[in-house]
Amino acid sequence: MASAALNGENGAGAPLRVAAVVPAFDAEKTVGSVVEELVRVWPWKHPGGSVIVVDDGSSDGTSRAASRAGAHVIRHETNRGKGAALRTGLSHALSLGARAAVTVDADGQHYPDEALKLANDSSAPDTLILGVRDLSRDGAPKKNRFSNGVSNFFLSYFAGRPLADTQCGLRRYPLPLALELGAVDDGYAFEAECVLRAAKAGVAIREVPVRVFYPPEALRVTHFDSVRDPARIVFRVLSTLATARTEPRR
């Protein structure tokens, strides 16, 4: 028997409304194909656009390319960081009535069928679902594997549970719960902060293996600094520990 989520329903029998959120910065060359594929396969169709691109102050044609491909585009006038873009996208998804949002990177690293797998996952709607990459299999650079290992170590230790991939941007965030966790970081550390706050609040966390695509290094475009950004993640983790409440979730 197919799961309720695979049938497009939650446990109450109503449609499971899951939006796709794509934070984008200077991604004109790739965001169009990302959006086209998501629009084609996405199970929840909303008149206001179930694929949401947040253009985080790009200086190129990111907004135009995303809009032409069928996305609903929200633009930050200045570059505010991935975390700020994710908060904007999650908030907009919630305003459309979405119960969850799958976040997808704009650089083409995430396959649409893997994003769809998270959208259709049969876990309860209030579960935070983390995509887990096999970085060696998928050809990630050694510096990326190292920085991810550092983040995994610190997050696992402070969250009190093993976490296999704390930097993967392919996730399903429960709404409005993800916003209520109160993550404040505007950069890449937002994703790690959400995981830690969720763990401390007793939110259910599920890890799902996903495939990702790493193009040849000469063609690779990334705004993630493999030294600076992991250091910021560690700093944010330590800051979060001082403010996040630990409580059982009922």
Q: In what order do the strands lie in the sheet with 100-103?
A: 72-76, 51-56, 18-24, 100-103, 171-174, 128-133, 205-210
Which amino acid is residue 44, in one-letter code?
A: W
Q: Which of 95, 125, 103 is nearest to 15 (CA)?
A: 125
**Do 62 and 55 meet the contact criterion of CB atoms below 8 Å apart?**
yes
The CATH number for 33's domain is 3.90.550.10
102, 218, 231 from 181: Cα distances, Å: 17, 38, 22
| DSSP string of 33-50, one letter each residue | HHHHHHHHH-S---TT-S
Mean pLDDT of 67-72: 98
Residue 2 reports pLDDT greater than 70: no
> Is residue 11 domain-resident?
no
> Is residue 13 domain-resident?
no
- What percent of the chain shows pLDDT beyond 70? 78
Mean pLDDT of 152-165: 90
> Is residue 1 domain-resident?
no
> Is residue 5 domain-resident?
no
- What value does the mean pLDDT of the chain take? 85
**pLDDT tens-digit profile of 14-61?**
668 999 999 999 999 999 999 999 999 999 999 989 999 999 999 999
Residue 7 reports pLDDT greater than 50: no
- Number of domains composing the chain: 1
Expressed in angstroms, the distance from the first to the final Cα of the chain is: 28
> Is residue 208 domain-resident?
yes
Confidence of residue 118 (pLDDT cuts 50, 70, 90): very high
> Is residue 214 domain-resident?
yes
> Is residue 80 domain-resident?
yes
**pLDDT tens-digit profile of 218-236?**
444 555 555 565 666 666 6
> Is residue 3 domain-resident?
no
- pLDDT on residue 5: 39
Give the pair of three-digit tokens for residue 76.
């930050």
Please give the residue range of the domain that contains residue 166.
Answer: 18-241
- pLDDT on residue 50: 96
